[in-house]
Amino acid sequence: MTDNLRFFLSRFANLSEQELEAFTAIFTPISVKKLDHLFLENDMVSNIYYINDGIMRGYFNKQSTDITTNFYFGPTMMTDLVAVRSNKPTQMNVQALKHTNCMVAKFSDLDDLIDAYPTMASVFFKFLEHLYLFGVIRQHSFIFDTPQERYMKLFCERPKVVSEIPQRYISSYLGIKPETLSRIKNRIFKEL
């Protein structure tokens, strides 16, 4: 798993062997069974997670309805940065949709690592930039795109979501009701 983590980091910056060793040393492997949670609303989150393989779903509860905000396919890193930095309980839930193998590190250890190895800051700047752009593009899609256009973009840009995620979570992620998603899919397939 550490080899995959090293490869993942190399996508964002060239790190020395010493930096890679120091980085992987702060992580501990964990596994999350299908439908178990990495963390739940009101938990204090102080960790960063590297998802090696599996699928996690991020969601919020609102008036007894859960609203899916993202799907995390390994390999990737994730946390609730708002909760970590504000030192307040998280509002997010993160659930395994498949058995998932992860690695976990304390965010404070990551901060110490960045202080010790300034190059490491560029890795996380690029990664956070990537996440920020993803969020802005998703926000723009909710403002400018119809539900059908959002579905088609998801189909083209993230086909693993469409093929591996249950419909009820996809419809929640797209901000529509499951029956609306069914109508959209029927309409698309009739046009083909």
Provide the CA 163 distance to its chain's centre, in angstroms.
Answer: 17
Q: What is the pLDDT of residues 158-182, one digit of tens each?
A: 999 999 999 999 999 999 999 999 9
Type of residue found at 133? L
Domain count, the chain: 1
Q: How far apart are CA 18 and CA 38, in angstroms?
A: 30
Q: What is the pLDDT of residues 12-34, one digit of tens each?
A: 888 899 999 999 999 999 999 99
User: What CATH number does the domain containing 21 carry?
Assistant: 2.60.120.10
pTM for the whole structure: 0.90
Enclosing domain of residue 108:
2-117
Q: How far apart are CA 102 and CA 156, in angstroms?
A: 27
Q: How far apart are CA 188 and CA 102, in angstroms?
A: 37
Does residue 150 sit within a domain? no
Does residue 9 sit within a domain? yes
